[in-house]
């Protein structure tokens, strides 16, 4: 039962959280790619209720075939996003590599008793998702050259958005569990959390925030390879109503880049936290379902 990041208790009051994430460019603009890579790398620390304290760059760059100014722009975008998060860059490592990759290793801290794991969800808990789904499908459309600039700009803003405020607000509220939605999609990450917590999860498709463009592109057959792998791997543990369109089913398995937090909170506190998230400008946050006792480790999606 791997969690979002590694945790090591240093003292009774301090545990460190360590995580590393890097990938190949998902958008054309290098500065924006740098920003997204940072938001993505910090996210696992936020998902665990921690505060990132330092970061280090990881760079793979084709020095013979790409102008160095591209790398400079990526790093500039990264530093700008780190400074927004209040996290100093303390070092890094770069190598010559035929394929460009960028990411970071991040260290955070949390009080050991305030650590939020991807286990511990309880029957009756409400489930809040803080960002819309569909970035993988839209990035595939971007690569295929069929996504309008306006759609790319919108989705880019979401991918570059930090999960810092959502994390702080969930800590203030007190929650049972949390994870962030990344490569395994909503269904994959939900299954992991349900298994670890020995509970089941029910979602209502109409409550889930989804980029409508992702639904449309999926309907036109655009889907990333990761989506098909997620479906193969996870569909045996998911029961999705036939009334949910096949394009929306795709979105549920879509791998996300720098996705939102999936927060599990007792029902009496859920509306209050949701209101605070909206008040902090996290407008798409929504209660998308609830935890049930059985069937353990299974996700059910109804219309």
Q: Which residues bind Co ion (CB under 5 A)?
A: 4, 21, 44, 180
Residue 164 or residue 180: which is nearer to Co ion going by CB? 180
What is the smallest separation between the CB atom of 257 and Co ion, expressed in angstroms? 11
Distance CA 33, CA 103 (A): 10
Residue 21 or residue 290: which is nearer to Co ion going by CB? 21
DSSP state, residue 114: G
What is the smallest separation between the CB atom of 259 and Co ion, expressed in angstroms? 9
What is the smallest separation between the CB atom of 274 and Co ion, expressed in angstroms? 22
User: What is the radius of gyration, based on Cα positions, of the chain?
Assistant: 19
| Residue 20 parent element (H or E) | strand 15-23
Q: HSE, CB side, 13 Å, CA atoms: give it for residue 212.
A: 0
Distance CA 131, CA 138 (A): 14
Distance CA 41, CA 129 (A): 19
With beta carbons less than 8 A apart as the criterion, state whether 27 and 36 touch.
Answer: yes
With beta carbons less than 8 A apart as the criterion, state whether 45 and 108 touch.
Answer: yes
Residue 106 or residue 152: which is nearer to Co ion going by CB? 106
Residue 17 or residue 169: which is nearer to Co ion going by CB? 17
What is the smallest separation between the CB atom of 75 and Co ion, expressed in angstroms? 20
Which DSSP string do the residues of 58-90 spell out, in sequence order? EEEE-TTTS-HHHHHHHHHHHHHHHHHHT--EE
Residue 105 or residue 151: which is nearer to Co ion going by CB? 105
Residue 4 or residue 254: which is nearer to Co ion going by CB? 4
Q: Helical H runs in 102-224?
A: 135-143, 149-160, 164-173, 185-197, 212-219
Residue 4 or residue 250: which is nearer to Co ion going by CB? 4
What is the smallest separation between the CB atom of 41 and Co ion, expressed in angstroms? 8
| Residue given tokens 């999705």 in the structure block | 240
What is the smallest separation between the CB atom of 39 and Co ion, expressed in angstroms? 12
Residue 169: strand, helix, or coil: helix
Number of other residues whose CB lies within 10 A of the CB of residue 93: 10
Cis omega (within 30 of 0) on the bond before 187?
no
What is the smallest separation between the CB atom of 5 and Co ion, expressed in angstroms? 7
What is the smallest separation between the CB atom of 180 and Co ion, expressed in angstroms? 4
Residue 4 or residue 125: which is nearer to Co ion going by CB? 4
């Amino acid at each position: 039962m791997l969690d979002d990041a590694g945790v090591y208790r240093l003292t009774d009051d301090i545990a460190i959280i360590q995580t590393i994430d890097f990938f190949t460019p998902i958008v054309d603009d290098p500065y924006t790619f740098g920003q997204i890579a940072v938001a993505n790398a910090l996210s696992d620390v936020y998902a665990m209720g921690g505060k990132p304290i330092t970061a280090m760059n990881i760079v793979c760059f084709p020095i013979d075939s790409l102008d160095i100014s591209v790398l400079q722009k990526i790093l500039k975008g990264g530093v700008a996003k780190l400074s927004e998060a209040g996290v100093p860059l303390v070092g890094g490592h770069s190598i010559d590599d035929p394929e460009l990759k960028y990411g970071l290793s991040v260290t955070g801290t949390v009080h050991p008793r305030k650590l939020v794991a991807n286990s511990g969800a309880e029957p009756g808990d409400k489930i809040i998702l803080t960002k819309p789904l569909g970035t993988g499908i839209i990035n595939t459309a971007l690569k295929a050259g069929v996504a309008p600039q306006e759609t790319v700009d919108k989705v880019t803003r979401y991918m570059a958005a930090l999960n810092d405020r959502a994390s702080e607000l969930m800590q203030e509220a007190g929650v049972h569990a949390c994870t962030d939605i990344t490569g395994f999609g909503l269904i994959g990450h939900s299954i992991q959390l349900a298994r670890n917590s020995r509970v089941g999860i029910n979602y209502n498709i109409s409550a889930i925030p989804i980029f409508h463009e992702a639904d449309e592109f999926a309907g036109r057959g655009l889907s990333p390879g990761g989506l098909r792998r997620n479906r193969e791997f996870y569909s045996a543990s998911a029961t999705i109503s036939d009334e949910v369109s096949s394009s929306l089913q795709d979105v549920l398995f879509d791998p996300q880049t720098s996705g939102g937090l999936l927060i599990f909170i007792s029902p009496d506190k859920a509306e209050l936290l949701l209101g605070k998230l909206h008040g902090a400008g996290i407008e798409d946050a929504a209660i998308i379902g609830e935890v049930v006792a059985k069937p353990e480790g299974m996700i059910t999606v109804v219309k």
